[in-house]
Amino acid sequence: MAQKWTIEIESITNAETAWQECKKICNHKHYIEPSQLEVMDMPRDARPFGESLKKCLMHMSTLTCRVQNGTRMCTGLVQRVRKSKVNTSNRSDCPDPNCSVSRTHEIRILTVTSVSSIIKPRSRDQHIQLLIEDFNCHYHFSGIKSEGEEESVRSEWCELIFITHDIDNTNTLPAAVTDFEESQRSLYEEFQRENYPKKIISIIGYPHGPKKMVSFGEIISREPEGNIRGDLEWCVYRYDAPTCPGFSGATLLIPGQPLAGYGYWFGHPHCHYAYDDNTWLGRSSIGCDHRSRTSLSEPWAFSLSAYYKYILIVGIAIVSMWVYSSY
């Protein structure tokens, strides 16, 4: 059967009815509010690293935001935050055309990753808004940074740039980004140390708009889409994590993936793009990945360590019996 991908952007005009009339209503019972998340709520295979995953998801939740264009909304992630000085008395030099400060002042520049479908089709009267629950202030949409830079890559993914003059209310935002990256790094190191199977993914999105929710699933496949350089390649993921309209643009947290693309010049993590109408499997936007270190075909890794544990236990039992019987 031919695949028909449906992008999960929601209309904010009917949040209530959209929830009740959702054709994937059976997904709703699998969503968990990030603040309520416990290790026991996670899939069984995720529980061995559940505490680290929970910590990482808490930090990711802080940075998960709503991106709204007119009456359409989807999910985004604040990926970078930096400060800049508007060094002029001329207001028109500030990237915010509504700026009312007529002296040298500071602004904060936010890079938000999402799906480019939220800004398409382009229209003159588009009104793009950013809503970050814990950092509630006015953000001015200043442009799209990376879309179309890579000619060989489909432009499903985008970086949206927002600026704010509200330095006080966003004071702890840079630390929130650092906390997320550090928790992600230690989760990845734990994966390397313990050799966990790399098939679990989790996503935090806004199903139908109002509240962010965590969703868990397994990676079904990973499809290469072209070389970048060295060990890096473009690829897309398919997975069975429940999603609903509003989830497009939500970053995929793949615990075994080296830093999910953060820290590279293209800074290109995978985010949820669409779902297949026939199978309901999700598909990520195109993103970058390490070819060798993100191999999914290693169920033997877990069974091998279980095998060694089994041999050890049996060995100890035989030695104990031999020692006991020799008395």
Q: Report helix angle 173-194 to 50-63, nearest 10.
A: 150
| DSSP letter, residue 285 | P
| Residue 43 CB, nearest approach to Zn ion (Å) | 20
**CB nearer Zn ion, residue 93 or residue 189:** 93
Contact between 58 and Zn ion per CB under 5 A: no
Binding mask 21-50 for Zn ion (x = CB under 5 A): -x-x--------------------------
Taking CB under 5 A as the binding criterion, the range among 2-10, 18-26, 50-58, 167-175 that sits at the site for Zn ion is 18-26
**CB nearer Zn ion, residue 3 or residue 104:** 104
Q: How far apart are CA 206 and CA 246, in angstroms?
A: 5
| Residue 225 CB, nearest approach to Zn ion (Å) | 29
Contact between 99 and Zn ion per CB under 5 A: yes
| Burial of residue 225 (number of CB atoms within 10 Å: 0-12, 13-18, 19+) | middle
From candidates 244, 252, 253, 260, binder to Zn ion by CB under 5 A: 244
Q: Considering only CA atoms, which of 307, 246, 297, 296 is closest in space to residue 114?
A: 246
**CB nearer Zn ion, residue 244 or residue 271:** 244
Amino acid letter for position 82: R
Taking CB under 5 A as the binding criterion, the range among 60-68, 236-244, 262-270, 293-301 that sits at the site for Zn ion is 236-244
| Residue 93 CB, nearest approach to Zn ion (Å) | 8
Q: 64 with 204: CB under 8 angstroms?
A: yes
**CB nearer Zn ion, residue 167 or residue 306:** 167
Q: How far apart are CA 295 and CA 119, in angstroms?
A: 33
Q: Which residues contact 208 (CB under 8 A, 6 or more apart)?
A: 10, 15, 18, 19, 22, 244, 245, 246
Contact between 94 and Zn ion per CB under 5 A: yes
**Interacting residue ranges for Zn ion, rule: CB under 5 A:** 22, 24, 94, 99, 101, 244
